Amino acid sequence: MRESRFEIPVFENTLEVSRYLGDVGNQEGNTVLFIGGVHGNETAGVGALNRVFEQLNQGDIDLTGRAVALIGNMEATRLGKRYVDKDLNRIWTREVLDDLHYDRLDNQHSEYHELREVYNELQTILAQTKGRLFVIDLHTTSSPTIPFIVTNKTNSAMEFTKRFPMPVVSGLMGFLDGTLLSYINDLGHVGLAYEAGQHKSPQSMIKHESFVWQCLYYAGVCKNLTDDFLQHHASILEEELVTRTNNFKLISRYKIKNGEAFEMNPGYANFQKIYKGEELAMNQDGPICSPYDGYVFMPLYQPLGDDGFFIIKPEAT
Ligand SMILES: [Zn+2]
């Protein structure tokens, strides 16, 4: 499977990619596994991983562990689409994984094939790792956003994510099921999704790169990065953030029904404050209003996907 290669556009450049974007270091220490392109139209993370691993491959940076980078959804990445048949970040459920174990998954189904390949790579990496495992899933969003992290509220995930100067959103259960990050956290490792910014913004790639370097440092895989280097990358993530260091919890999701003509009202930015009764979107029957005071989260401004928007609330820490 390492042989399949193709070219994709990543902002101004063309990259030749394969499932493995990089694999450096040793298995004695901790391992960080980065995954880009779980959604095929989100190439900023793939571009950033390519750049970081080019530097790691030069051998000037001391590695006390292992850093691996994979593309999640190869076929969707090749096509530049979020997914082909099913969202790869919604099928890491007990039910689908049982079907995988008993060989009952339809291999014609594009994302079941991708799931099987990523799952097998993950099991191999897990078996090889002598230290701790961190899985970092790199994403971008359809609307503009400050960088943020999504994770489960496990002690080890919260301990890791508090290092980063950005909001951490948790409370996925019942709202966002079958995510890769929840699968990883359920196994007892640290799993998170990081959203760097809007899909097409070149800044998203820069913000992915800075996040990746900091993950490598805080996961104890690149311990010898200089203070100047780390400070530079921290400042790239901090610059837009003033008060957005809260932890948030998902409290509501607007799920788009089959055949529903959902359209988000224009101009909603991620983390924008909203009020009970506010018109957030429209469908064929009229306006869709917020049932709560809170903050709008991941408003949908792209054709694919069935989560119209979420509502989050700050959580006491
Ligand atoms: Zn995504």
Phi first, then psi, for residue 40 (nearest 5°) are: -70, -15
Percentage of the chain beyond pLDDT 70 is 97
Contact in structure between 138 and 198 (CB atoms under 8 Å): no
229 and 261 in a single domain? The answer is no
For residue 240, what pLDDT is reported? 61
**Overall average pLDDT of the 260-279 stretch:** 94
For residue 107, what pLDDT is reported? 82
Q: Residue 139 Cα, ligand 1 centroid: separation in angstroms? A: 4
Provide the residue range defining the domain that includes 31. Answer: 5-238
- Tokens 């039910």 locate to 95
175 and 290 in a single domain? The answer is no
DSSP state string for 41-102: T--HHHHHHHHHHHHHHTT-S--SSEEEEEES-HHHHHHTSS-SSS-GGG--SHHHHHHHHT
Q: Residue 70 Cα, ligand 1 centroid: separation in angstroms? A: 15
**Overall average pLDDT of the 160-183 stretch:** 92
Given 238, 262, 290, the domain boundary residue is 238
221 and 256 in a single domain? The answer is no
Given 204, 238, 272, the domain boundary residue is 238
Quote the CA–CA distance of 189 and 131 in Å, as a whole number.
Answer: 11
210 and 257 in a single domain? The answer is no
> pLDDT, tens digit, for every residue of 191-224?
999 999 999 999 999 999 999 999 999 999 998 8
Compare 302 and 249 and report the one with higher pLDDT.
249
Percentage of the chain beyond pLDDT 90 is 84
Q: Residue 38 Cα, ligand 1 centroid: separation in angstroms? A: 7
Q: Residue 215 Cα, ligand 1 centroid: separation in angstroms? A: 19
Q: Residue 313 Cα, ligand 1 centroid: separation in angstroms? A: 21
- Read off the amino acid at residue 230: L
Name the pLDDT band for 305 (thresholds 50, 70, 90): confident
Within a domain: 222: yes
CATH code, 290: 2.40.50.100
Name the pLDDT band for 1 (thresholds 50, 70, 90): very low
Phi first, then psi, for residue 39 (nearest 5°) are: -105, 125
Q: Residue 79 Cα, ligand 1 centroid: separation in angstroms? A: 15
Within a domain: 10: yes
Predicted structure pTM score: 0.93
Within a domain: 243: no
226 and 188 in a single domain? The answer is yes
Q: Residue 210 Cα, ligand 1 centroid: separation in angstroms? A: 18
Q: Does position 34 have pLDDT exceeding 90, yes or no?
A: yes
CA neighbor of 117 nearest in space, from 81, 73, 163, 158: 73
Q: Which residues contact 127 (CB under 8 A, 6 or more apart)?
A: none
Q: Name the residues around ion ligand 1, CB cutoff 5 A.
A: 39, 42, 139
- Read off the amino acid at residue 200: K
Alpha helices in 219-288 (DSSP H): 227-238
Within a domain: 244: no
Q: What is the mean pLDDT of the chain?
A: 93
Name the pLDDT band for 2 (thresholds 50, 70, 90): very low
Number of folded domains that form the chain: 2
Angle, to 10 degrees, between the axis of helix 110-128 and the axis of helix 94-101?
80
99 and 67 in a single domain? The answer is yes
Phi first, then psi, for residue 267 (nearest 5°) are: 90, 5
57 and 15 in a single domain? The answer is yes
> pLDDT, tens digit, for every residue of 85-112?
999 999 999 999 999 999 999 988 999 9
Given 207, 238, 269, the domain boundary residue is 238
73 and 173 in a single domain? The answer is yes
Within a domain: 139: yes
Q: Residue 179 Cα, ligand 1 centroid: separation in angstroms? A: 11
